[in-house]
């Protein structure tokens, strides 16, 4: 077994990690700028207090990877299965990022901030999203089933369909302008007039 390579307070810029395997690495307070992780294998690595900015993280493999207080800004995070991450090191924020087709099934994402993101067809089933913020996010065909949405903020979210009877929703926040996302399955005609 290889010895773990430790990186702290480093910036990695314009590196192409696409379709490569990175093993036995620990990153603390590191920043990744304009890096390509497309289809890379980051299994069993650890990222703590790291920032990924303008990176391609699509289809990245994260088996056993620890990600605590990781921030994604203006990134492509398409089709990533976050259920494979280390569940004890699992906290994020996402800003102006594309997370379409990603999977968070059964994970704890309390108080997570999604700001200006597209979350098309993301699987949030069985996920704890209590207290989370979906600010100006597109949730087209995102799945919410047995999801904890208590105190979650959807006031500026759009294109979501949530079945209140199939999720925990106490004190969740919605705008009068997006209530149709809670009622669409009843086939009501809702007017703003």
What is the reported pLDDT for 130?
98
For every residue of 177-190, DSSP letters joined together read GGTHHHHGGGT---
Residue 173 pLDDT > 80: yes
- Tell me the per-residue pLDDT of 9-54, one tens digit each, with 9 for 90 and over: 999 999 999 999 998 899 999 999 999 999 999 999 999 999 999 9
Reported as a pLDDT band with limits 50, 70 and 90, residue 138 is very high
Phi, psi angles (nearest 5°) of residue 99: -115, 20
Closest CA to 93 of 152, 157, 138, 50: 50
Give the pLDDT of residue 176. 81
Q: Are strands 25-28 and 5-8 parallel, antiparallel or unpaired?
A: parallel
DSSP 12-33: EES-B-TT-B--SEEEES-EEE
Q: What angle do CA 182, 137, 145 make, to 5 degrees?
A: 45
Helices (H), 96-155: none
> Across the chain, what does the average pLDDT equal?
94
pTM: 0.93
pLDDT at position 4 is 85
Residue percentage of the chain with pLDDT more than 90: 87
Structure tokens at 13: 């810029």
Give me the pLDDT at residue 178, please.
Answer: 76
| pLDDT single digits (tens) 76-125 | 999 999 999 999 999 999 999 999 999 999 999 999 999 999 999 999 99
Distances (CA, A) of 123 to 22, 53, 116, 143, 155: 27, 23, 18, 5, 20
- Measured in whole angstroms, the distance separating CA 13 from the mean position of its chain's CA atoms is 23
> How do residues 58-83 score in pLDDT, each as one tens digit?
999 999 999 999 999 999 999 999 99
């Amino acid at each position: 077994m290889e010895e773990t390579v430790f990186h702290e307070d480093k910036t990695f810029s314009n590196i192409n990690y696409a379709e490569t395997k990175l093993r036995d690495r620990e990153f603390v307070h590191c920043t990744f700028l304009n890096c390509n992780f497309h289809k890379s294998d980051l299994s069993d690595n650890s990222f703590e207090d790291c920032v990924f900015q303008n990176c391609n993280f699509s289809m990245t493999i994260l088996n056993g990877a620890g990600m605590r207080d990781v921030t994604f800004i203006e990134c492509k995070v398409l089709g990533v299965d976050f259920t494979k991450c280390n569940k004890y090191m699992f906290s994020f924020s996402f800003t102006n990022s594309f997370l379409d087709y990603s999977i968070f099934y059964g994970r704890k994402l309390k108080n997570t901030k999604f700001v200006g993101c597209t979350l098309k067809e993301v699987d949030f089933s069985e996920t704890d999203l209590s207290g989370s913020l979906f600010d100006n996010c597109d949730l087209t065909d995102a799945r919410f089933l047995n999801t904890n949405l208590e105190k979650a903020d959807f006031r500026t979210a759009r294109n979501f369909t949530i079945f209140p009877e199939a999720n925990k929703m106490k004190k969740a926040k919605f705008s009068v302008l997006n209530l149709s996302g809670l009622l669409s399955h009843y086939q009501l005609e809702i007017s703003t007039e």
